[in-house]
Amino acid sequence: MFEITKKEKQALYQYTMGNAYATINALLYEGLQNELEKKSEGKIIFLEDEQTLQKYFEIIMLMYSAMYKKLKMEPFRSSIRTKRVERMSTFKEYSNKRVIPSNLSTTKSDFLMEYAKTKKAPVLLELELFPDVLYVDMGEILGASYEKVDEAEVLIAPFTQIVEVYSLPSLEIPKYELILRKSNLSAIDSLELEMIRKEIFENFADCKSIMDKICLYQLTPMEIQRYCIWKKNIIRYLKGKCKEIELHLN
């Protein structure tokens, strides 16, 4: 019998606190465009130290575990529909790659238009989640401890596949429909995973300094290259760890 643990609930809650969600999601996007966009909106992208990065890794994996367990607990669930206000540039990035890289906050209710005021060139997204998509209803899991329970938030797991994208009629803000389903992650040998993790933390100080300089100074091409390689290693590592979670829970 699958059960969402106290640690998994705590991870979902910690993800919503302070700058955690902005930094965690930025780490899951390749390149540095996501950091630039979030900082232009006044969101803080910041890693205090190596322990903070490790904590964020644990939060991502515990959240993924909770979402995978939820899928196993509801083997006969139907597709659901949710909505989101997104930046046009971010939408184009993941729709072109046909994958949602990070956790994606959506709502079962109507569009939360107050978010359109905070995003540069907003776009409205209607999402259909196939039954195999990993997600959690935040209000259902966190209950009274969740401050935004009125937003009817459905949080979708990172690495979710985009099957189709359709343009929808809209008078003012562009609108699209996305059809989502679970991605098939590839297993990575445990020794190789440990080597990737070692490289990530060996390069932490250097890449943290580059992260701190984004939007403040002009980065050199070499700094951008080092930072992008570092993030690719983070993404590869987390995909491998999430696949381990799936195999363990099957």
Under the banding of pLDDT at 50, 70 and 90, the label for residue 241 is very high
**Domain CATH for 130:** 3.90.176.10
Answer yes or no: do 115 and 147 share one domain. Answer: yes
196-200-201-207 Cα dihedral, nearest 10 degrees = 170
Domain boundary among 156, 184, 212: 184
Domain total for the chain? 2
Domain boundary among 168, 184, 200: 184
* pLDDT average, residue stretch 186-210: 96
Work out the burial of residue 43: count CB atoms within 10 Å of its CB; fewer than 13 is exposed, 13-18 middle, 19 or more buried: middle
Q: Given this model, what pLDDT does residue 1 score? A: 62
* pLDDT average, residue stretch 26-52: 90
Answer yes or no: do 70 and 82 share one domain. Answer: no
Answer yes or no: do 176 and 199 share one domain. Answer: no
Answer yes or no: do 82 and 169 share one domain. Answer: yes
Domain boundary among 166, 184, 202: 184
Answer yes or no: do 25 and 48 share one domain. Answer: yes
Residue 117 predicted with pLDDT over 70: yes
Residue 44 predicted with pLDDT over 90: no
Under the banding of pLDDT at 50, 70 and 90, the label for residue 61 is very high
Answer yes or no: do 227 and 171 share one domain. Answer: no
3-state secondary structure 45-57: CCCCCHHHHHHHH
Answer yes or no: do 39 and 57 share one domain. Answer: yes
Full residue range of the structural domain in which residue 234 is found: 1-76+189-250
Q: Given this model, what pLDDT does residue 86 score? A: 94
Answer yes or no: do 180 and 241 share one domain. Answer: no
Per-residue pLDDT tens digits for 125-173: 999 999 999 999 998 888 877 777 778 899 999 999 999 999 999 888 9
Portion of the chain with pLDDT greater than 90, in percent: 73
Answer yes or no: do 71 and 193 share one domain. Answer: yes
Answer yes or no: do 98 and 172 share one domain. Answer: yes
* pLDDT average, residue stretch 210-230: 89
Per-residue pLDDT tens digits for 79-97: 999 999 999 999 999 999 9
Answer yes or no: do 85 and 71 share one domain. Answer: no
Answer yes or no: do 9 and 67 share one domain. Answer: yes
Per-residue pLDDT tens digits for 170-191: 888 999 999 999 999 999 999 9
